[in-house]
Structure 1
Amino acid sequence: MQYLLIKWRIIFLVLFGMLSGCGSGDSMESFGGPTMGSTYSIKYVRHAGLPAPDEVRVQVEQILADVDRQMSTYRSDSDIERFNALPANRCQAMPASILELVRVGEQLSVQSEGSYDLTVEPLLNLWGFGPQAREEKVPTAEALAEVRKRVGHQHLRIDGDRLCKDAAVEVDFNSIAAGYAVDTIAARLEAMGIRDFLAEATGELKASGKKADGSPWRIALEEPRDDRQLAERVIDVDGYGLSTSGDYRNYFEQGGQRFSHTFDARTGAPVSHALASVTVIHPSALMADGLSTLLLILGPERGWDYAEKHDIGAFFVIRADTGFVTRSSHAFERLCGKKTE
């Protein structure tokens, strides 16, 4: 099976030791596996009467399989790829989950003045980053102009339970699908009576409650380096989703210039600013996922202004001549407190 390849992430380091419980029979349970071209992991405190890991795993993997079947751009039989294959002026019945993500994508596109857009898949393919990509290279101006005719959320329309398009657009959920999956998993865990957990898929995560020893879930945000892992910031998380987007692992170079996989839909080209990564903390993992991409597209100045205007908890890592510098929005500092060494 091919899995949906989610945008490259900075790896989250979950900090926890050997936990023995609190003397009440509580224990830390964990499991994980492959998903969406990456991995997922679930950790939860099993109080008396709560399901065993094998029971929870079945529920979690069914959610991940549903997301893959509905939203993967790497399998031709997924709901969204069948829609993408339709010509202009056609509609297709869709599950509620896909219609929800289309609405979220439209909201983020409008708020970013078109920089963020779910219909960038033709651009990804043209530049060599998408599922139908042939070669990583800078396209000609003529090829770019032609592809841009098929990009823009304004070409999508929801009609009841159908998704319609008036141009041959192709939808790509890679910037929000994992966050949606994490939110759905978190809701399922809570429905099973599990209140203390950390759910993670492809680097998107949501934490709730405490660990078995009563300590908080602590997450280390990694400095954007390829040679080794360095914790840039350590935060406690309870009741929030967390997402980090970075442009430093998926790129190519041509003519001495670096081209990343992060696109501004308004220009049809990869971003060229100094923002290396941005982490967003939000009650919804779905919104954290989408907003981290949006802010990465906007860059260190426009992204900062957007985060402050909309009271978004965001942590920026910016390239500088001497390495990296960091900047936190006021909402991030309010939610995460002072820097923990």
Structure 2
Amino acid sequence: MRGIWLCMALLALAGCGERVERFGGPTMGSSYSVQYLPTAKSPSPQRLQAEVETILGELDRQFSTYRDDSEVSRFNDLPAGACQAMPADLIALLQYGDELSSASDGAFDLTVEPLMNLWGFGPQSREERVPAETDLIRERARVGYRHVRVDGSLVCKDVAAQLDFDSIVAGYAVDRVSQRLGELGLKDYLVEITGELKAVGHKADGSPWRVALEVPSGERERTVERSLDVDGYGVSTSGDYRNYFEEGGQRYSHTFDARTGTPVRHKLAAVTVVDRSTLHADGLSTLLMVLGPDEGFRYAEQQGLAAYFVMHEGQAFSTRVTPRFAELFPDAQRR
């Protein structure tokens, strides 16, 4: 599902050299793909695919909210005051989520699943609708990153909180897969998982991997706005363009501000972040999307982030980049 939520698709523009190998498949409710240049020491494509899918299967068993037997689903079913032993990956992502929450004064939050379900965007949703105020008050009482704490290998909660890692787990998966490919001897590859990606090295013709950033151009349509030469960076986009509903003339997106308990209502349509860590790019793109075009841009500038903003301007769109983005991609090609 997460790949469907991206407002701007990130498309790898691969070369046509015969040496490029490719494989992919379904994962996390969407799909993944790997493109790479084999070396004399690299394993067979079958071995590489098995290695990648082992990592993805492991993460799915920990983080999927669509599996009743996943670690996070079992935690979400626990009552207030309960604790559960968790694997190191999940604890590390929870702690990173807490860092983002603290940095944004609670705008970013991994405990918003009750709100997503209430508004019709979560794994336990029934319909997309504006909830009654009494229901909103009830569910907001279960939301807030300070209600969940880490105690050694245990994760505990003081209310019936529910975790959802969709805003960061795909980026983490890209980093895990990328690291493993490097350990197996690959030097030139591109990994994409549910729209998050990382490119390392070059294509068969020696040119960099090129990533096309698409922007909205109409009702749930997209066009390529510019392309980036990427080497050693992760790229992540968050947006409201493809997953929303309208009621009473008001547009409601799937991106929630945990401070208000409601979908964001600013004019930021999408934001792309480029970072050495795809995990960081993934989480930061969500954080900036929640903060919006003004507060988010100020935050990105202060933190030195490479970010690309797309704003609603009536029936059209405008774009804006941070100084760090312009520094990394001074020759970014426009269509």
TM-score in same-fold range (> 0.5): yes
Instruction: Select the residue among 35, 56, 59 that pairs with 2:51.
Output: 59
Seen in structure 2, the aligned counterparts of structure 1 residues 250 and 182 have a Cα distance that, compared at 3 Å, is: same
What's the offset of the Cα at 1:50? 1.1
Tell me the SS of whatever aligns to 2:136: helix
Seen in structure 2, the aligned counterparts of structure 1 residues 294 and 7 have a Cα distance that, compared at 3 Å, is: farther
- Conserved 8 A contact 2:220-2:241: no
CA distance in 1 between partners of 2:293 and 2:222 (Å)? 23
What's the offset of the Cα at 1:6? 5.8
Query: 2:5 maps to what in 1?
Result: 8
TM-score with structure 1 length normalisation?
0.95
Query: 2:275 maps to what in 1?
Result: 282
Q: How many equivalent residue pairs? A: 332
Query: 2:319 maps to what in 1?
Result: 326
CA distance in 1 between partners of 2:268 and 2:332 (Å)? 20
Tell me the SS of whatever aligns to 1:221: strand
* Stretch moving more, 43-52 or 303-312: 43-52
CA distance in 2 between partners of 1:153 and 1:7 (Å)? 26
Query: 2:252 maps to what in 1?
Result: 259
- Amino acid corresponding to residue 35 of structure 1 in structure 2: T
Seen in structure 2, the aligned counterparts of structure 1 residues 228 and 250 have a Cα distance that, compared at 3 Å, is: closer
What's the offset of the Cα at 1:305? 0.3
Seen in structure 2, the aligned counterparts of structure 1 residues 294 and 64 have a Cα distance that, compared at 3 Å, is: same
Deviations 1:56-90 (A, max 9, x none): 00000111111111000001100000001001111
CA distance in 1 between partners of 2:221 and 2:241 (Å)? 14
Instruction: Select the residue among 83, 91, 103 that pairs with 2:83.
Output: 91
Instruction: Select the residue among 204, 210, 219 that pairs with 2:202.
Output: 210
- Amino acid corresponding to residue 15 of structure 1 in structure 2: L
- Amino acid corresponding to residue 8 of structure 1 in structure 2: W
Query: 1:18 maps to what in 2?
Result: 16
Match runs of 1:1-341 below 5 Å:
5=2, 8-9=5-6, 10-20=8-18, 27-225=19-217, 226=219, 228-321=221-314, 323-341=316-334
- Conserved 8 A contact 1:6-1:178: no
Seen in structure 2, the aligned counterparts of structure 1 residues 39 and 337 have a Cα distance that, compared at 3 Å, is: same
- Conserved 8 A contact 2:14-2:209: yes
Q: For structure 1, which runs of at least 5 residues remain unmatched after alignment?
A: 21-26
- Amino acid corresponding to residue 208 of structure 2 in structure 1: P
Q: For structure 2, which runs of at least 5 residues remain unmatched after alignment?
A: none
Seen in structure 2, the aligned counterparts of structure 1 residues 5 and 322 have a Cα distance that, compared at 3 Å, is: closer
CA distance in 1 between partners of 2:2 and 2:160 (Å)? 22
CA distance in 2 between partners of 1:14 and 1:135 (Å)? 34
What's the offset of the Cα at 1:322? 5.2
Tell me the SS of whatever aligns to 2:216: coil
What's the offset of the Cα at 1:312? 0.5
What's the offset of the Cα at 1:48? 1.5
Tell me the SS of whatever aligns to 1:46: coil
CA distance in 1 between partners of 2:91 and 2:284 (Å)? 18
What's the offset of the Cα at 1:146? 0.8
- Conserved 8 A contact 2:15-2:204: no
CA distance in 2 between partners of 1:151 and 1:143 (Å)? 13
CA distance in 2 between partners of 1:6 and 1:199 (Å)? 14
Tell me the SS of whatever aligns to 1:224: strand
CA distance in 2 between partners of 1:335 and 1:165 (Å)? 41
Tell me the SS of whatever aligns to 2:293: helix
The RMSD of aligned alpha carbons is 1.2
CA distance in 1 between partners of 2:195 and 2:126 (Å)? 27
Seen in structure 2, the aligned counterparts of structure 1 residues 227 and 265 have a Cα distance that, compared at 3 Å, is: closer
What's the offset of the Cα at 1:321? 2.5
Tell me the SS of whatever aligns to 1:300: coil
CA distance in 2 between partners of 1:69 and 1:239 (Å)? 28
What's the offset of the Cα at 1:5? 4.6
Tell me the SS of whatever aligns to 1:294: helix
TM-score with structure 2 length normalisation?
0.97
What's the offset of the Cα at 1:339? 3.0
What's the offset of the Cα at 1:228? 4.5
Tell me the SS of whatever aligns to 1:222: strand
What's the offset of the Cα at 1:7? 6.7
